[in-house]
Amino acid sequence: MNQKNNRQINDMKHPENLFEEKMVKDIFFTQLSDKIIILKVEQGGKFRYVYANEKGLEHANLHKNDMGKLLTEALPKEHAKHLIHYYKEVIETNDTVVFLDEIEIENGEKRIFESRLTGITDKNNTIHYIVSVTRDISYTAFEKKQLMESTEIYQSLIIHNLDAIFSVNEKGRILNVNPASQEMFGYSENEMLDRSIYDFVDRKSVSDIFRVMTNTLLGEPQTSDCIFIGNEERKINVQLKTVPIIVNEKIIGIYIIIRDLTEQWENHEKMNFMAMHDHLTGLWNRRALMEHLQMEIANSKQKKREFALLYMDIDRFKYFNDTLGHQAGDVLLKQTAERLGTLKLANYRVYRLGGDEFVILLPGHEKREVNRFSQNILALFNIPFDINGQDYYVTPSIGISMFPADGQDSETLIKNADGALLQVKEKGKGHFRFYRSDMKDAFPNYILMEAHLRKAIEMNEFVMHYQPQVNLKTGKIKTFEALLRWQNRKFGNVPPSQFIPLAEETGLIIPIGEWVIHSVCSQLADWRNKGYKDIRVAINISPKQFLQTNLPEIIQKALFMNQLPASALEIEITEGAMEDTIAALSMLHRLKKIGIIISVDDFGTGYSSLNYLKRFPIDILKIDQSFVREIQVNEKDAAITKTIIHLAHNLGMEVIAEGVEEEDQVQFLVSAQCQKAQGYYFSRPVSAKEIEQKVLYI
C-alpha cells in the first residue's frame, strides 16, 4: 500500500473499542486464507513479532510462544537475514514492498508465495509496525508462466517462420506481418501495415482470395494456390493457407500463411516445357502434337469445323547434313523453325517430330485457305539460308490431310498426311499435296495391303506391261518403257500409285525391283529369240534401288543369264535419285561401264541442276507430261519444252516426251525436233503379247 493508504494508529495495545478490535482480528486474522504476520519496528533496525494468525505461524514455521521474540531470535540466521532486507526496504522507501519465495513442501512439490510488506505509520508518518500478508500464488504463477511461454513460442513461430504470415482484420486490412513477409514481398513493415491484402494480389487471383477470405470468416480454414505481386511488379506463385483469429468465441480476423512456390513452379514449368518441346528448335514435340491433336479433334467435332494437318520435311536434308556436317544441319533446322513461326495466320502450331520432319496444325480453316497457307510456306524457302556465311537454297515437301475427310483420329490423320508427303517426294519434291481419299477407299487396311504385297512375287501376281516410244521422224518403234502392274487375288488390279509408295516405305521395292529387272531381261531374251534383236526396254529404278551398292552386279547377272547385250537395257531414274552427287556419280559410272543406257525421268519437275547434266553420264532426258499436256495453250510450257529439247541436243542427249495424247502435241514436238514420244495417242501400256501382235510385226 502507498503511504496515503496506510492506516494510522496510536497504540494497538490500548484500543478504544475492544469489541471492534475483536471483530477485526476475527475477520482479518482468522477468517482470511492469507498468511498474516505483524512485526514491531524497534531501534537499531530490529523487528519483533507481535502477532501472527494460524496460517502465518504455519507458513513461517513459528509457534505462538515465538510472539514477542525478535525476528533474528525466532528464525534461522540466513532466513532472518533474507527477510530483514525487505523489511528495511519498507522503512527506507515508506512504500509497500512485494517479493516472491519458492518453497518446497513435504511431498517435494514447489510452491510460489507472494509476500506484501506494508508499513503502519503514526501521525508523524513514522512506521512503527509492518504487516506481512503472504499468499500462495503457485497456480496463478503457473498460468502466467504458461501464458508467457506460449506467447514466446507463438512470437518465435511467427518471427522465425520461413513462410510469410499476415494477420488481417475482417475487412482484409493488414495488422501485422512477420520478417519473412517483408523479405518475400520486398517491402518494409511500415509499407505493408494498414494496407489491403488485395493490394498484393495478382488481378487473376483476386476472386480466389475473396472466396478464401469469405469462407475463413465463416470459420472454415482454407488452402489455395494463387499469385501475389511483390515489389517491382514481381509475380510470386504461392500456396496460401488461412486460419480464423477467434477471441471470446468471435472471429475478429484472419491469419494468412503464404509459402513461396515460385522456384518449384518454375522448375515444374521448365520440366513440363522440356517434356513437351523439342530441345533443339524450341518447337512443340511429338508428345505435344498427340495431346493437342486429340483436343483439336474433340473441339472440331463439337464445333463441326475442319482443320488441316501439314506434314513437312526438307528436301535433300540428309545430303545437306552429310556434306556440311550435323552442326550445319542443326542450324538449318533452327532457322527453318524460326521461319515457320513467322507465317501471318493466327492459331497455327508448329511441331518438330525429329530429324527434318515438321508438322503444322492449322485449326478452323477450309481446304482453299490451307492451299494458300501451304503456298506461303513454300515462299519462305525462296530466301537462301545463311549458314556460316554461305547462302544455301533448300526446299520443303508437304503432305496434307484434312479433318474429318481424311481421318477422324490422330493416327489416321498423321498417316495420311505422311502418305501425301511420300507422293510429293515421288513427283519431284519442292511442292505440297493433299491426301487423296481414293487411296483410302481402295485400301482401308494398309496392313492387309502390305501383307498381300509381300507375297505378290511368290503368288505370281506381278505382270509387266510395255508402253511404246515412237520415233517421231521415222514412225518406228524400237524402244519401250516397262511398267509394273499388280493383279491381286483380293483387290484386283491395283494402280502403281497405290502400291509403289508402300513398297518404297516398307523396303519391298528392293526385291520387287530385282524381280522387274530379271522379268524384263527374260522378255527381251524371248523377243530376241523370235527375231526382234534391236529392241531396247527402259526400267524405272527407284531412289532406294539406286542406292544399292550391288545394283550393277544384279543387272549384269540378269543380262548374262539371258545372254543379252547391255545396250538392250535402259535404266530410268528420277532427279531425286541424284541428290547425293558423289554416290550418284559413282553408281552411274559403274552402270555405264557395263554399257547400260541412262535416262532421267520427269525432267524439269524437280529443282534441276545444269551441273549434273554436265557431270553425269546421261544419255536421255524425258520431258514430264505436265509440260507436254498444255504446250498448245500455255506459252510457258511450250517455251520450257523447246528449251529442254534444245538443251539436250546441245549436250548430245536424246529427248523423249511423255504423256502425249493429242495430234497437235505430236505436231508441236515434231516441229521442235523432239526425237521420240510416248503416250495414249500412240498406245497405252500393254502386255508383252499385245506388243508382239500390234507393234513388233511392223
- pLDDT tens-digit profile of 330-345? 999 999 999 999 987 7
Per-residue pLDDT at 456 exceeds 80: yes
Average pLDDT, the chain: 85
What's 608's DSSP letter? -
Per-residue pLDDT at 218 exceeds 80: yes
Per-residue pLDDT at 318 exceeds 90: no
* Adjacent-strand bridge partners of 357: 354
pLDDT average, residue stretch 395-407: 91
Q: How many CB atoms lie within 10 A of CB 304?
A: 7
CA of 653: how far to CAs of 134, 468, 592, 620, 634, in Å?
Answer: 131, 19, 15, 5, 25
Per-residue pLDDT at 13 exceeds 50: no
Q: How many CB atoms lie within 10 A of CB 618?
A: 23
- Predicted local distance difference test score (pLDDT) of residue 561: 95
- Predicted local distance difference test score (pLDDT) of residue 446: 64
For residues 467 and 685, the answer to whether their CB atoms sit within 8 Å is yes
- Upper half-sphere CA count for residue 492 (Cβ side, 13 Å): 2
3-state secondary structure of 178: coil
Rg for the chain (alpha carbons), in Å?
53
Q: How many CB atoms lie within 10 A of CB 257?
A: 18
Helix pair angle (663-671, 635-650), 10° resolution: 40
- Cα–Cα dist 254/242, whole Å: 7
3-state secondary structure of 514: helix
- Cα–Cα dist 2/25, whole Å: 23
pLDDT average, residue stretch 106-133: 84
pLDDT in tens, 628-672: 888 888 888 889 899 989 988 998 999 999 999 999 999 999 999
For residues 573 and 585, the answer to whether their CB atoms sit within 8 Å is no
pLDDT average, residue stretch 535-552: 90
pLDDT in tens, 485-522: 999 888 888 888 888 888 887 788 999 999 999 999 99
Under the banding of pLDDT at 50, 70 and 90, the label for residue 20 is low
Look up cell 547434266; give the residue: 613
Q: Pick from 277, 284, 420: which is nearest to 340 by CA? A: 284
- Predicted local distance difference test score (pLDDT) of residue 548: 84
Say what percent of the chain tops pLDDT 90. 40
Per DSSP (E only), the strands in 404-556 are: 432-434, 462-471, 477-488, 492-494, 536-540
Of 187-196, 366-375, 585-594, 602-611, the one with minimum mean pLDDT is 602-611
Per-residue pLDDT at 7 exceeds 50: no
C-alpha cell of residue 5: 493508504
- Predicted local distance difference test score (pLDDT) of residue 451: 84
Under the banding of pLDDT at 50, 70 and 90, the label for residue 11 is very low
pLDDT average, residue stretch 308-322: 90
CA of 537: how far to CAs of 46, 48, 660, in Å?
Answer: 145, 146, 19
Secondary structure of 375-402 in HEC code, one letter for each residue: HHHHHHCCCCEEECCEEECCCEEEEEEE
SS3 content of the chain, % helix, strand, coil (to 5): 45, 25, 30
- Cα–Cα dist 367/632, whole Å: 31
β-strands 385-387, 390-392: how paired? antiparallel
3-state secondary structure of 80: helix
- Predicted local distance difference test score (pLDDT) of residue 571: 94
Per-residue pLDDT at 577 exceeds 90: no
- Predicted local distance difference test score (pLDDT) of residue 27: 52
Under the banding of pLDDT at 50, 70 and 90, the label for residue 276 is confident
Per-residue pLDDT at 609 exceeds 70: no
Per-residue pLDDT at 48 exceeds 50: yes
Among 19-23, 98-102, 259-263, the range of highest mean pLDDT: 98-102
Look up cell 497504540; give the residue: 11
- Predicted local distance difference test score (pLDDT) of residue 3: 43
What's 624's DSSP letter? -
- Cα–Cα dist 264/331, whole Å: 33
- Predicted local distance difference test score (pLDDT) of residue 529: 93
Under the banding of pLDDT at 50, 70 and 90, the label for residue 22 is low
- Predicted local distance difference test score (pLDDT) of residue 59: 84
- Cα–Cα dist 592/586, whole Å: 10
* Adjacent-strand bridge partners of 134: 35, 115
Under the banding of pLDDT at 50, 70 and 90, the label for residue 168 is very high
Q: What are phi and psi of 111, to 5 degrees?
A: -125, 150
- Cα–Cα dist 690/685, whole Å: 10
- DSSP H helices, 304-388, are 317-324, 326-340, 367-380
In this structure, is the dihedral angle defined by the CA atoms of residues 669, 670, 673 and 674, taken in order, positive or negative? positive
Residue 365 CB partners (closer than 8 Å, separation 6+): 306, 307, 308, 373
For residues 572 and 599, the answer to whether their CB atoms sit within 8 Å is yes
pLDDT average, residue stretch 24-45: 74
pLDDT in tens, 143-154: 555 555 555 555
pLDDT average, residue stretch 250-260: 89
Residue 383 CB partners (closer than 8 Å, separation 6+): none
pLDDT average, residue stretch 54-58: 86
Q: Pick from 511, 513, 383, 464: which is nearest to 690 by CA? A: 464
Per-residue pLDDT at 12 exceeds 60: no
- Upper half-sphere CA count for residue 592 (Cβ side, 13 Å): 12
Per-residue pLDDT at 26 exceeds 90: no
Helix pair angle (496-506, 446-454), 10° resolution: 80
- Predicted local distance difference test score (pLDDT) of residue 487: 92
pLDDT in tens, 292-313: 999 999 999 988 889 999 999 9
- Cα–Cα dist 102/110, whole Å: 6
The pTM (predicted TM-score) of the whole model is 0.45
Longest dimension (CA), the chain: 171
Look up cell 509476500; give the residue: 115
3-state secondary structure of 118: strand
- Cα–Cα dist 581/585, whole Å: 6
For residues 472 and 669, the answer to whether their CB atoms sit within 8 Å is yes
